[in-house]
Amino acid sequence: MAHAEHKDIARQSLLMKALPAQHVETLLSKALWKTYARGETLFLQDEEAQALHIVLDGWVKLYRMTPSGNEAVVSVFTRGESFGEAVALRNRPYPVSAEATTKASVMHIPSNVLTELIRHDAEVGLTILSSTFSHLHALVSQLEQLKAQTGVQRMAEFLLDLSPCDSGACEVVLPYDKSLIAGKLGMKPESLSRAFAKLKAQGVTINRNHALIDDVGALKAFMDDQA
């Protein structure tokens, strides 16, 4: 992907599109750009945060290791989404690790560049606060999902969120392997397999990293009936 296209994606991110144009160009000029191979680490839990990050292409997961040695997926981010704002501005250690789950291009904005802008324009700080609040809202929604929805409902909603279609038949590309999907949805791999099997009755067929939905509207109606 061309560098100019990467910049356009960054400009449309939730973090940047609310900022005045001059600040956006300052951030873009100071940013670091890097491509990661699948499985490559961006940073590790407890490392000092020195930048915030915007995914330009591919998928990145944030995760923690539990005391028992298991991996707990906290969030997954894709094109145009940012993460790490709060800890970067406070120069605090990362509470999670980050890893590319596919080949991924990521823009890193040094935290000192942001703090300097905030000193000169309070609007920048408000934009960062808004972005951080969006992450909090997403985590609350995720917790609500885990508490209130069955595994089948979570999987159906996940597919609908990824679906590029509003109605009719649709093919959805699964962005990462099934074990990571299970982790994101708070399920064990065997529970995910059972959810896939149950969704077959709702017109959903899984073929490797593709999900074929016979009727997006019918799947939405199924979700509404389960609410």
As a whole number of angstroms, the distance between CA 82 and CA 114 comes to 14
Contacts of 100 (CB under 8 A, 6+ apart): 36, 37, 38, 39, 40, 42, 58, 59, 60, 106
What single-letter amino acid sits at 215?
D
CATH topology for 3-146 is Jelly Rolls (2.60.120)
pLDDT tens-digit readout, 144-189: 655 557 888 888 888 988 888 888 999 998 877 888 888 778 788 8
Q: Encode burial over 136-165: b for 16+ CB neighbours within 10 A, e otherwise.
A: eeeeeebeeeeeebebbbbbbbbbbeebee
Sheet containing strand 97-100, edge to edge, reads 41-43, 97-100, 60-65, 71-77
Confidence of residue 96 (pLDDT cuts 50, 70, 90): very high
Is the pLDDT confidence value at 205 over 70?
yes
Top mean-pLDDT range of 84-93, 202-211, 218-227: 202-211
Q: Tell me which residue has tokens 């509003």.
A: 166
pLDDT value for 217? 92
* Residue 85 contacts residue 131 (beta carbons within 8 Å): yes
Contacts of 5 (CB under 8 A, 6+ apart): none
* Residue 191 contacts residue 182 (beta carbons within 8 Å): yes
As a whole number of angstroms, the distance between CA 182 and CA 15 comes to 28
Contacts of 50 (CB under 8 A, 6+ apart): 88, 91, 110, 111, 112
3-state secondary structure of 41: strand
**220 pairs with which residues across the strands?**
none
pLDDT tens-digit readout, 111-155: 888 888 878 877 776 776 666 666 565 655 665 655 557 888 888
Q: Mean pLDDT over all residues of the chain? A: 84
| pTM of this prediction exceeds 0.85 | no
pLDDT value for 185? 83
Whether 149-226 and 3-146 are alike in CATH topology: the answer is no
Structure letter (DSSP) for residue 36: E
Class of domain 149-226: mainly alpha
Is the pLDDT confidence value at 11 over 60?
yes
Question: With pLDDT > 90 as the criterion, what percentage of the chain qualifies?
Answer: 30
pLDDT tens-digit readout, 26-45: 888 999 999 999 999 999 99
Q: Where are the domains of the chain?
A: 3-146, 149-226
What value does the mean pLDDT take over residues 78-86?
85
